[in-house]
Amino acid sequence: MTERIDIAELAPKAYQAMFGLEKYLHGSGLEQRHIELIKLRASQINGCAFCVDMHSGDMKKQGEPDRRIWAVAAWRETSFFTPEERAVLALTEEGTRLADAHEGVSDEVWAEAEKYFSPEQMAALCMAVATINAWNRLGVMPRKAPPPLA
């Protein structure tokens, strides 16, 4: 697959604005493991190969076991994730698949996440889901590919 355009090169100010959102997320008080779960799961749903490659690698570098990384796509069928992580993954899925549900994020998924996160953290979770979904579109539309295997 050939990359159509390099958005970072053609729209550097927009790209820098996106990195501003990343800076916010890393200072938001959310745990890095939650941010990476959001990034990997949304990227899987959206079919962004570049982002799936990057975020699974980031999780590995942060010490996540391979089995947990591999299981993110099937998180409901494993016992590898805590109830708090499961709430993050459910919120990510419903926040990413907005067109699939008439109500967007269900009250049940929202309430489950609220058991573990403060209102400020809920806002940060929403920003994390929105940000990775934007990054995914910037990867999928121009067909940004992961680097070749070494």
Half-sphere exposure of 27 (CA within 13 A, CB side): 6
Span 70-102, pLDDT tens digits: 999 999 999 999 999 999 999 999 999 998 877
Angle between helices 32-46 and 49-61 (to 10 degrees): 160
Task: Give the 3-state secondary structure of residue 32.
Answer: helix
Please report, to the nearest 10 degrees, the dihedral formed by the alpha carbons of residues 76, 81, 84, 90 taken in order: -30
Per-residue pLDDT at 104 exceeds 80: yes
Span 111-133, pLDDT tens digits: 999 999 999 999 999 999 999 99
Q: Are 41 and 75 spatial neighbours (Cβ–Cβ below 8 Å)?
A: yes
**Alpha-carbon gap, residue 31 to 126, rounded angstroms:** 14
**Structural domains of the chain in order of their starting residue, each with its CATH number:** 31-140 (1.20.1290.10)
Q: Which of 40, 52, 103, 50 is nearest to 95 (CA)?
A: 103
Q: Which structure tokens are listed for 76?
A: 């409901």
Instruction: Give the predicted TM-score (pTM) of the model.
Output: 0.96
